[in-house]
Amino acid sequence: MPSLTRIIAQNTVIQIAGKAVSMVFGLLTVGVMTRYLGQEGFGQYTTVVAFLQFFGIVVDFGLAVIIIQLISARPAETEKLASNIFTFRLVSAVMLFALAPIVVWLFPYPAVIKWGVAVTAAALLFTSLNQIVISLFQRELRMSKVVVADVVGRAVIFAAAVIAVYFNWSLLAIMAGVSLGNLVNFALTFIWSRSITRIRLAFDWPVWREVFHKSWPIGLSIIFNLVYFKLDTVILSLYRSQAEVGVYGATYKVLEILSTLPYMFMGLILPLLSAAWAEQNRERFVDIMQRTWDVMLIMTLPMVVGGMILARPIMVAVAGPEFVESGPILQILLLATGAIYLSTIFNHAVIALEQQRRMLWGFAAVALISLFGYFMFIPVYSYWAAAGFTVVAEVLIFIISMVVVYRTLHRLVSLASVSRVVAATALMGLALYLLILIQAPFFLMLLLGIVVYLLVLYGVGGITKGFIREIVGR
């Protein structure tokens, strides 16, 4: 029988490979849009998405993690739980996303943004429904079909953007293509989920009450999270030009693409943490958390350091020369990305430990600090203030989630692997710096940086032969 490490690793590799392909389509789509729309047009696109994500985060309510938690504890009730939670999401999502095109007319946006919200609301609706279905695959550690659906959906969005540019269509046509791609992604995932369970409309009120009771602390936390993670773009769009929103939005798009990976990875780990805690097996819980920390650290440090060194070439490659000024903003936001990667471990551990309520005060405090900073400094310092306070918020959440886990377990992860990862990252950074001095091509620098990092990490024992054998099953 394959080991747990091998199953998780193989699912992670599948996700990384699929996410890499999706990321390529995502970055190509951003590149097509930024070059076609320019700073102002892409700023309008960013404003539409940010406004709708406000409603999307409110409707999230933590249901994607609650369904994993409940089904892990009661696998015999999978169909009943999945059907009721899906219906709960469907009803709330339709209500909120129908409200968005009405509310946007109260804001001083140009007409193209207001109509863009109406056209794109369906895209966020399909995404919110898809999150529930994906949770079923995460629970079963069967992510290959989810990856395929995501790649196909991203490909449809890219093709729609190319067609819109070719025929010189407007921003609204591109937004319609986003909705179509998200529909295809959701439809494929939903159809393939029948191999796990049958999802139907269900109104079992005791289940709804239980779900609401368990999810409201997470939902409230997510709403607080909305303040520091999304409201910066909305406030920027109200006080500064759409061109500035476009510069910030192009950079933030890179952060969003990078930030999907840790949440997908932790979706695989959460059922294991929940099961260990349900059995009151603290040693197993800490062991899973430790392995997760080691893997996440290996991914995080080189991404942050390498990304900061190559920030300007990355933004030119992604968005075009017009967005070269986004490079320094990316350097700042990569610090936030690193904090997100590491904090997802402890955020999901908090959920598995059922300590969501103890996180509320932390999320509320961070939301208030961020809100104050955004309103005080964005009107004066524009996207620099938005990026800076995003870093502050994510670092604070990282610290607070660690404190909550420690107070519950009275233990945290070992930092023994940090020195090896730091050494490999430092030598990778030196190699990248030398490659920049000789003006090596961007993709060559990227490839050599990865090779140097992995070789040094293996050399210092950050990756062992035993770990590799366990993953490949030999």
pLDDT at 126: 95
What pTM was computed for the model? 0.80
Is 445 a member of any domain?
A: no
Number of domains the chain is built from: 1
Instruction: Label each residue of the chain as H, E or C.
Output: CCCHHHHHHHHHHHHHHHHHHHHHHHHHHHHHHHHHHHHHHHHHHHHHHHHHHHHHHHHHCCHHHHHHHHHHHCHHHHHHHHHHHHHHHHHHHHHHHHHHHHHHHHCCCCHHHHHHHHHHHHHHHHHHHHHHHHHHHHHCCCCHHHHHHHHHHHHHHHHHHHHHHHCCCCHHHHHHHHHHHHHHHHHHHHHHHHHCCCCCCCCCHHHHHHHHHHHHHHHHHHHHHHHHHCHHHHHHHHHCCHHHHHHHHHHHHHHHHHHHHHHHHHHHHHHHHHHHHHCCCHHHHHHHHHHHHHHHHHHHHHHHHHHHHCHHHHHHHHHCHHHCCHHHHHHHHHHHHHHHHHHHHHHHHHHHCCCHHHHHHHHHHHHHHHHHHHHHHHHHHCHHHHHHHHHHHHHHHHHHHHHHHHHHHCCCCCCCCHHHHHHHHHHHHHHHHHHHHCCCCHHHHHHHHHHHHHHHHHHCCCCCHHHHHHHHCC
Q: Is residue 466 a part of any domain in this protein?
A: no
The answer to the question of residue 147 being in a domain is yes
pLDDT of residue 5: 53
205 located within any domain? yes
276 within domain boundaries: yes
pLDDT digits (tens, 9 = 90+) for 330-350: 999 999 999 999 999 999 899
Domain ranges, residue 56:
4-414
In a domain, 456, yes or no: no
Ordered per-residue pLDDT tens for the chain, 474 residues: 455 555 555 666 666 677 778 888 988 999 999 999 999 999 999 999 989 988 887 787 777 778 877 887 788 888 998 899 999 999 989 998 999 999 999 999 999 999 999 999 999 999 999 999 988 887 776 778 888 999 999 999 999 999 999 999 999 999 999 999 999 999 999 999 998 889 999 888 888 888 888 777 777 777 777 777 778 999 999 999 999 999 999 998 888 888 878 887 787 787 788 888 888 888 999 998 998 899 899 999 999 999 999 999 999 988 999 998 899 999 999 999 999 999 999 998 998 888 877 888 888 899 899 999 999 999 999 999 999 999 999 999 999 999 999 999 988 888 888 999 999 999 999 999 999 988 899 889 989 999 999 999 988 887 766 655 554 444
In a domain? residue 403: yes
Per-residue confidence (pLDDT) for residue 154, from 0 to 100: 94
366 assigned to some structural domain: yes
